[in-house]
Amino acid sequence: MRYRKALLFALLLSMLCGVNGCGFKDIDKRFFVVAMGIDRGSKPSTYRVTLRLAIPTSKIESGEAKTELESIEAPTIAESVRHIKSLVDKELDFGHCRVILFGKSLMERGVDEPLKWLSRRRDIQMVAFLGMAEPNSFHVLKLHPQSERYPGNALFLSFGSEGTESSYSVTEYLFDWARRQSETGKDGYLPIVRRDIDSNSYRVDKVAFLDKKKLRLCLNSEETQLFNISAKHYDKSVIAIPFQGTRVVLALSQVKTRTNISHSDIPEITFHIRATGFMEESPPNFLGGDMQQIQKHMQTEFNNQLEDLLYKVRDAGVDPYGFGLHYLATYFGRSNEWNHWMAAYPSVKFHVQSRIVIAKPGLIR
Amino acid sequence: MLEQIKNEFKNASDLLMDTLDNGYLRMELAYFPSLCDERIKDGLLVPFSYRFDPDEFRRMLHSNPKYQKQDKSEEWANLLLKGNVLLEIDGQCYSFKSDRTFVTEVGTTQVEASLQGPQSAFTEDINLNISLVRIRYNKSILTVKPFDKGSFSHTSIQVLYDSELVNENVLKMLFKQMENVNIDLLQASGQLVKELTDRSHRLFPTLLQTERPDRVAVMLRRGKIVILMNGSRFAIVLPVRLFDFMHAMDDDYESYWISRFLIIMRYMAVSLTVILPAVYIAIVSYNPEIFRVQLAFTIDGSRAGVPYPSFVEVFIMLFMIEALIEASIRLPRFVGSTATTVGGLILGQAAQQAGLVSSIMIIVTSVVAISNFVVPNPNFSQSVRLMKYPFVIIAMIYGISGVAVMFFAMIVYLCSLRSFGEPYLALFTPKNQMNSGHGKD
């Protein structure tokens, strides 16, 4: 009995040796993709996929990060990724692919197919950052920033709140974008990634808006910051107001917004925003130091700025703020309401009611 | 009497047998000089020889508790072997208890050191051990039940318990189990533990061995049963839970937050030492996306020169550290430090520089080794030491999900364990069983 047990155990053990795990691949036999770019191919309905692969070194120094760029064109993304595998010596691993860029021309055509591929692959993390590359992602990914300590570092840090936190860069995750693409009454946005003029760093200071199909509108940097404040409640930013030839700058510390949408033929949207902050730049003896006066002045100016932005977004036919979703959530009626909203959206009216609180006047002497 | 003893101890040349005559009285005397101490001189020989007074001598034989009438001749041999002197006067046989005690001083803690708690530990003498317990548990209800086990060693065993707090079922179960103990030579408490455990193949100890009298007192107060054994400096406590093994006596003596911190740290260390090698394999070979990207690249870079897959690397390092631990236990103290230096510094550093293992693996190994020694109980520490191997094997085949399932399986196994009918992994014991105000661990 005892021997039989031992024999059985030995048999099981020998069977174990025959089993080699399907996913067993050591870390040094893997090629980490740190960034992925998807562009429109040269022929119609083809894609050009660019992968930035990390070459790890044991020592980490600024500017020493080594990467390899592989790019190939194929009718589908899946095929081009498979094809790239034949160009490299190790197994591709998308586990650390934190940045995915779409070329501008691809965005103009529509990004439905790439999104499907990205959502289906289990090894692409849904927390990856998305961006739109201008003019195309190959051009952007080719850049080797001087400050990069380890491969892909510079792009990771530009997004998210780990490295730099700029009010001009918006951050969009893959999961959020996939939701926005399928959500009724809420549209997606993507940061625009370009090369800096001197070609040693990336430049992420604009935002692009899409409807459910393709690219509709690109904002400039100031508008991007305004969008970041109003839509994302981004509080590490500033509100700049022109005043008699100079500019008054309020550094924000807290932003709160609230939206009211009236239920009428042409819905009216009242956008309440409350911004608290301190004066970072102001002319000496500004309005005689009358806080009420200053706040009022800033409020009117800010209302105008924001209303302009909202109308611009409305006229492009996109809804990144999610007003449509808010409307549907507020009023009962399902598809009828939605049709009504769709018809009325191009002519809705915006009222911005801002409340600016200067918590600290920034008095230095 | 001497004739009979002579028959029984045919070849025992160290047995002293003599017939003494002081002119008034004849006394037959037999004892092992090696087993008896000097008390025989003052207790027997002096009153019998030059201070002899027949009345006083008789009175002494009847009133001194060290003298016992021994009528049963079949017990004589046993008495002699236990260090008694046998004497026969006027056809009546007496025994005089004069057994030599080797240990007269209380030991110091060696495997369960404490920072500021009591430093005294049990000794290898059972009488001294009982007195150590009685000093700390100074109550009349402390019951002591003697046993005698080992068909060749005749080791005396004492079972101690608080008769008011003890769980009767456990006590019954223990006595039944004691009946079944069948050992020739009972020399260490570990042997008794093995005999008392109902299933022989166990990954975790279900009986606690301790050398600390203060721990024994605390356990008695909680209604547990303590077994003391002659010749062993470890007491056996039952029934116990897993948390008793993870409890250091210092936890009771330190201030509240410090002891909580230490307890949490200890549990973290145990889970680290069990799963870290497995997690290393699983992450390096199956799911490198779990790391932060910096760490992934660093490990990637440091593993670049390693020729073998990750699990071979793990086995190399684990073998080295296990061999080192084993060597430092067995080696004589003065060579011990050499082993640590050679093994720890030279091998570790050289293995990494030779490209046999990655630098991260060195860190993993040292964390595993250090965390292992955080466990306050040596038995449990050994179990934990063994537990990492199933995890490593599972991680080799199934990756990180295998490790998770294995951890679950380990919890299930722990839940299935019983220590004398009491659940092993019971987090909270009812108040009436545990009213010492001692906290849940």
A66-74 and A47-55 as β-strands: parallel, antiparallel, unpaired? antiparallel
Residue B244 in tokens: 């008793």
Q: Does some domain include residue A288? A: yes
pLDDT for A16 equals 63
Min mean pLDDT across A248-252, B130-134, B328-332 is at: B328-332
Residues B22-77: pLDDT tens digits? 888 888 888 888 888 888 888 888 888 887 888 888 888 888 888 888 888 778 88
Give the pLDDT band (50/70/90) at residue B228: very high
pLDDT for B234 equals 92
pLDDT higher than threshold 50 for residue A178? yes
Give the pLDDT band (50/70/90) at residue B390: very high
CB contact under 8 A, A58 and B396: no
Cα separation, B67 vs B96, whole angstroms: 5
Residues contacting residue B152 through CB under 8 Å, at least 6 positions apart: B184, B185
Domain endpoint, select from A173, A191, A218: A218
Residues A240-269: pLDDT tens digits? 888 878 888 889 999 999 999 988 888 899
| A297 and A243 belong to one structural domain | yes
**A151 touching B, CB under 8 A?**
yes
Question: From the list A30, A60, A150, which residue is nearest B288 (CB)?
Answer: A30
CB contact under 8 A, A28 and B300: yes
Contact list, A59 vs chain B (CB under 8 Å):
301
Question: From the list B294, B303, B304, which residue is nearest A150 (CB)?
Answer: B294
Give the pLDDT band (50/70/90) at residue B440: very low
| A244 and A254 belong to one structural domain | yes
pLDDT for B392 equals 92
Q: Which amino acid is at B199?
A: R
| A225 and A186 belong to one structural domain | no
Min mean pLDDT across A113-122, B231-240, B297-306 is at: B297-306
Which residue in B27, B104, B140, B355 sits closest to A58, CA to CA? Answer: B355
- The kind and range of the H/E element at A204 are strand A202-210
Residue B127 in tokens: 């009488």
**Dihedral of CA B234/B240/B246/B252: which sign?**
negative
Which residue in A227, A211, A230 sits closest to A342, CA to CA? Answer: A211
Domain endpoint, select from A201, A218, A235: A218
pLDDT for B436 equals 43
Could you give the angle at the alpha carbon of B102 between the alpha carbons of B96 and B108, nearest 5°? Answer: 140
Which residue in B167, B159, B181 sits closest to B227, CA to CA? Answer: B159
Whether B127 contacts B97, CB under 8 Å: no
- State whether residue A108 is helix, strand or coil: helix
Q: How many CB pairs under 8 A join A and B?
A: 80
Cα separation, B215 vs B319, whole angstroms: 34
Cα separation, B347 vs B327, whole angstroms: 14
Which residue in A361, A324, A358, A354 sits closest to A341, CA to CA? Answer: A324
pLDDT-above-90 percentage for chain A: 25
CATH number of domain containing A284: 3.30.300.210
pLDDT for B20 equals 85
pLDDT for A292 equals 85
| A358 and A231 belong to one structural domain | yes
| A166 and A306 belong to one structural domain | no
Residues B183-216: pLDDT tens digits? 888 888 888 888 888 766 788 888 999 999 999 9
CB contact under 8 A, B298 and A58: yes
Work out the mean pLDDT of chain B and round it to a whole number: 85
Q: Does some domain include residue A333? A: yes
pLDDT higher than threshold 50 for residue A304? yes
pLDDT for B159 equals 93
| A226 and A175 belong to one structural domain | no
CB contact under 8 A, A23 and B301: no
Higher pLDDT, B370 or A21: B370
The minimum CA-CA distance between B282 and chain A, rounded to whole Å, is 9
pLDDT for B432 equals 53
As to burial, measured by CB atoms within 10 angstroms (0-12 exposed, 13-18 middle, 19+ buried), residue A104 is: buried
Of B280, B281, B297, B358, which to mutate for an interface test with A (greatest number of A Cβ within 10 Å)? Answer: B297
**Dihedral of CA A73/A89/A143/A151: which sign?**
positive
Contact list, A16 vs chain B (CB under 8 Å):
393, 397
pLDDT-above-70 percentage for chain B: 96
As to burial, measured by CB atoms within 10 angstroms (0-12 exposed, 13-18 middle, 19+ buried), residue B31 is: buried
**Which residues 355-414 of B have a C-beta within 8 angstroms of A?**
393, 396-399
| A213 and A270 belong to one structural domain | no
Give φ, ψ of B142 to 5 degrees: -70, 115
Where in the sequence is the domain holding A103, given as residue range(s)?
A: 27-218
As to burial, measured by CB atoms within 10 angstroms (0-12 exposed, 13-18 middle, 19+ buried), residue A156 is: buried
| Cα dihedral: B264, B265, B268, B272 (round 10) | -170
Which ipTM was obtained for this model?
Answer: 0.78
Place of tokens 């109980």: B377
Cα separation, A217 vs A27, whole angstroms: 42
Cα separation, B238 vs B207, whole angstroms: 6
CB contact under 8 A, B297 and A19: no
Give the pLDDT band (50/70/90) at residue B437: very low
| A212 and A93 belong to one structural domain | yes
Domain endpoint, select from A190, A218, A246: A218
Cα-based distances in Å from A354 to A253, A296, A303, A351, B272: 15, 9, 6, 10, 53
Cα separation, B27 vs B92, whole angstroms: 10
CB contact under 8 A, B298 and A27: no
Give φ, ψ of B147 to 5 degrees: -135, 165
The minimum CA-CA distance between A315 and chain B, rounded to whole Å, is 42
Cα-based distances in Å from A211 to A118, A131, A231, A244, B113: 19, 15, 16, 39, 70
CB contact under 8 A, A23 and B286: yes
Cα separation, B42 vs B96, whole angstroms: 12
- DSSP secondary-structure letter at A58? S
B/e letters for B225-261, b = 16+ CB within 10 Å, e = fewer, are bbbbbbebbbbbbbbbbbbbbbbbbbbbebeeeebee
Q: Does some domain include residue A164? A: yes
For chain A, the domain total comes to 2
| A39 and A167 belong to one structural domain | yes
The minimum CA-CA distance between B182 and chain A, rounded to whole Å, is 22
pLDDT for B438 equals 42
**A53 touching B, CB under 8 A?**
no
Question: Across residues B245-269, what is the average pLDDT?
Answer: 91
Cα separation, A71 vs B41, whole angstroms: 102
B/e letters for A190-221, b = 16+ CB within 10 Å, e = fewer, are bbbbbbeeeeebbbbbbbbbbbeeebbbbbee
pLDDT for B403 equals 92
Give φ, ψ of A26 to 5 degrees: -65, 155
**A89 touching B, CB under 8 A?**
no
pLDDT for A18 equals 56
Which residue of chain A has the CA closest to B359? A58
| A164 and A243 belong to one structural domain | no
| A103 and A213 belong to one structural domain | yes
Question: Across residues B307-320, what is the average pLDDT?
Answer: 87
Give the pLDDT band (50/70/90) at residue B293: confident
- What ranges do the domains of chain B cover? 2-97, 107-240, 254-423
**B285 touching A, CB under 8 A?**
yes
Q: Does some domain include residue A40? A: yes
Question: Across residues A210-230, what is the average pLDDT?
Answer: 89
Question: Across residues B353-364, what is the average pLDDT?
Answer: 85
- The kind and range of the H/E element at A273 are strand A268-281
Residues contacting residue A19 through CB under 8 Å, at least 6 positions apart: B397
Higher pLDDT, A321 or A365: A321
Which residue in A273, A280, A243 sits closest to A258, CA to CA? Answer: A273
pLDDT for B226 equals 93
Lateral strand order in the sheet of A268-281: A238-243, A246-261, A268-281, A349-360
Which residue in A140, A89, A109, A116 sits closest to A46, CA to CA? Answer: A109
- The kind and range of the H/E element at B69 are strand B67-69
| A127 and A169 belong to one structural domain | yes
Quickly list DSSP for B110-177: SSS--SSS--EE--S-HHHHHHHHHHHS--TTEEEEEEEE-TTT-EEEEEEEETTTS-HHHHHHHHHH
pLDDT higher than threshold 50 for residue B439? no
Q: Does some domain include residue A77? A: yes
Which of B338-342, B416-420, B430-434 tops mean pLDDT? B416-420
Work out the mean pLDDT of chain A and round it to a whole number: 86
Give the pLDDT band (50/70/90) at residue A22: low
Cα separation, A194 vs B346, whole angstroms: 51
Higher pLDDT, B278 or A111: B278
pLDDT higher than threshold 50 for residue B112? yes
**B143 touching A, CB under 8 A?**
no
pLDDT for A20 equals 53
pLDDT for A36 equals 92
